[in-house]
Amino acid sequence: LEYHSAQSARSPALRALASNAEGVLFLRGSFALPQRDPDGESFSNIFVERHPLRVGTPVMAPWAQDGMDYLAKVHAIDLELGQCTLIWDDGGTTYRVVPLAAVTAVNGCVFPCVAQALPQAVRIWSARRAMLRSLWDYQLQAESGCAHDAFVDLVGICCDAAFAEVRAVLMSRSKSWSSLGLERARIQLQRSRWAAERAYRPDARALAAICLHRGELMRLASAAVVPSAPPSSLAARSHRRQRDQDLRASFQETLQLYDRAAEHLKSAEWKQSHASLNEASWHPPRGHIRPEIVNDLLRAKALADIASRWKPPSPRSRGVHRMLRAGSQ
């Protein structure tokens, strides 16, 4: 509630930081959503609407193509699948099936049936909306010419926005939303990389964090490609061969990102005795895990995904096994 009240400040930078902190709280916290005050006009997405969700109810929902919220009406509800079908007010006919946890009332409140049935998903989608508000406010700050010395802030906001987007993707059962959501997360990480490299003195810790995020995102995107059935025609075999080559290139780039992250971590000289480990902004709240260990764990996950994709030991897969041996070393 305190973070949300700070979002009404006149300073875009303060609003951006407050929205970012609210989004992080949603991602890491586990708490019951408070009921909406019937005597007040609350526009916070952390409040639960008192009116139920029914067919024909006007709502705000994200359109999968750009991830922005638009006005629509409910056409059908499926609580078991956690999805609903919408009728867009502008007459659009694409991406009408959206995650139920992403739907809010017009005033931004969450519907009670959704909050009770999908509490974790509601918190993640609320975090995503908070991160988007943080980006919008930061852009307002930049347009006023007051963000030239805050590139590190933009790096953190973009990384958090990408993380919230990926969490929303993992909660969704829609293939279209998954692919488009991962692409939006990739764009956010590109923006964070641009901001980090544009700084007067690029922070090795920020560059390492970006490489870790990009590597994990590429691993998730590659894992989303479902292996097809054995090819039955020349065209199918050619398509599968091309897909395998793209996956192999993607995995190689993933391992290279972890190598770059290790180089940045080494240059940052993160050690347990280093003063930066006492800074909350660069330190996880639940345990003292060194970033080098996190990098090794993520690299091991990528190697495990590579090993699960190809069956040994075929002559055609020698290149894959060479990549695995090099990565394990």
Q: pLDDT (tens digit, 0 to 9) for every residue of the chain, 329 residues total?
A: 566 666 666 777 788 888 888 888 888 876 666 555 555 544 444 577 777 888 999 999 999 888 899 999 999 998 888 889 999 999 888 999 999 989 998 888 888 888 888 888 888 998 999 899 888 888 887 777 665 555 667 888 899 999 999 999 888 877 777 888 889 999 999 988 888 888 777 888 888 889 999 998 888 887 765 555 555 566 666 666 767 777 778 888 888 899 998 888 888 765 444 454 444 444 554 456 777 888 888 888 888 887 776 655 555 545 555 555 555 55
What pLDDT was estimated at residue 280? 46
What pLDDT was estimated at residue 35? 55
Q: Sheet of 83-88: strands edge to edge?
A: 97-99, 83-88, 69-78, 58-62, 104-105
What pLDDT was estimated at residue 273? 44
Task: Give the strand pairing for 69-78 and 97-99.
Answer: unpaired
What pLDDT was estimated at residue 206? 86
- Which contiguous run of DSSP H or E holds residue 135? helix 119-143
CA-wise closest residue to 100 among 87, 86, 114, 113: 114
What pLDDT was estimated at residue 268? 78
Question: Cα Rg for the chain, rounded, in angstroms?
Answer: 22
What pLDDT was estimated at residue 277? 47
- Which contiguous run of DSSP H or E holds residue 77? strand 69-78
What pLDDT was estimated at residue 322? 57
Identity of residue 204: A
